[in-house]
Amino acid sequence: MWYFVLIVFGFWNGAFSENQNCIKNLRDACNNHRMVPKELPRTEDELKASCSKFENIKRCLMRRLNMCGSDNDYDLRIARSDFPRMIETLTEICQEDTELHASYVRHMACIKIFVSSNNKSQICQDYENEVMDYLRGPIQRKQLQDDEEYRYKISQCLVQLLSMNCFITYISDTCGYRAGNMTIEIIQKATSIAEQCPSSIRIDVIDLLNAFESATEEIMYVKRFIKSLNFS
């Protein structure tokens, strides 16, 4: 769900779990406004048009989300946690006197190339599989908590982080480090991984990311997301 702001309004194409009936109904109901941008803006004029449409649908989105069911539902709980942050970040991107807006305008044409590529999902899936294959042994060797549930939580947290790291890495490599830094800023403002990466596993997750970084010399940008949780 984190990539909602990176695709800008692209959650209509799958950022929420499709098996969540309430979230799907929210999407369908607000889509009746016929105002939802169908793709990532490439020019400043396209961004202005998308932002104008966004203003017309965000009230619908917030109202409908609050009508969804119980917070006992994991996906819905995360949606309710992240959604206001996503809305606020999109609002900042749309506000023309902000640094984030200026930065986004500079980089959006390049970012669209990657976001619009047909193989982006496969690229990041291959990346996640490669890293998880490397870390499977270290995860199994964790002795502090010798139970399957603990290792499962670590794996689920890592999958979320690696998806983010893949996007940041490819944006940095394709569009430059400033675009990568902007992507990090957007992700950090728009989402929280506190639910997916609970405090009980964070030290071990950082150790695992450090181990992979040392062995491969690949940058694990997402370590800062975990560290920021520990000091927030």
Taking residue 226's Cβ as centre, other Cβ atoms within 10 Å add up to 21
| Residues 6+ positions from 209 with CB-CB distance below 8 Å | 158, 161, 220, 222, 223, 226
Give dist(CA 22, CA 118) in Å, integer.
29
Predicted local confidence at residue 16, as pLDDT: 41
Predicted local distance difference test score (pLDDT) of residue 130? 92
13: pLDDT strictly greater than 70: no
CA 95 distance to own-chain centroid: 21
The mean predicted confidence, pLDDT, of the chain is 78
Q: Are 62 and 83 in contact (CB under 8 A)?
A: yes
- Label residue 26 by pLDDT band (50, 70, 90): low
The pTM of the full predicted model, rounded to 2 decimals, is 0.79
Whether pLDDT at 51 is above 60: yes
pLDDT tens, residue by residue, 65-74:
666 665 556 6
Nearest to 191 by CA among 221, 219, 217, 161: 161
Reading the block at residue 1, the tokens are 């769900």
CA gap 118, 229 in Å, rounded: 34
**What integer pLDDT is reported at residue 50 of this predicted model?**
81
Q: Both tokens of residue 22?
A: 């309430």
Q: Which amino acid is at 161?
A: L
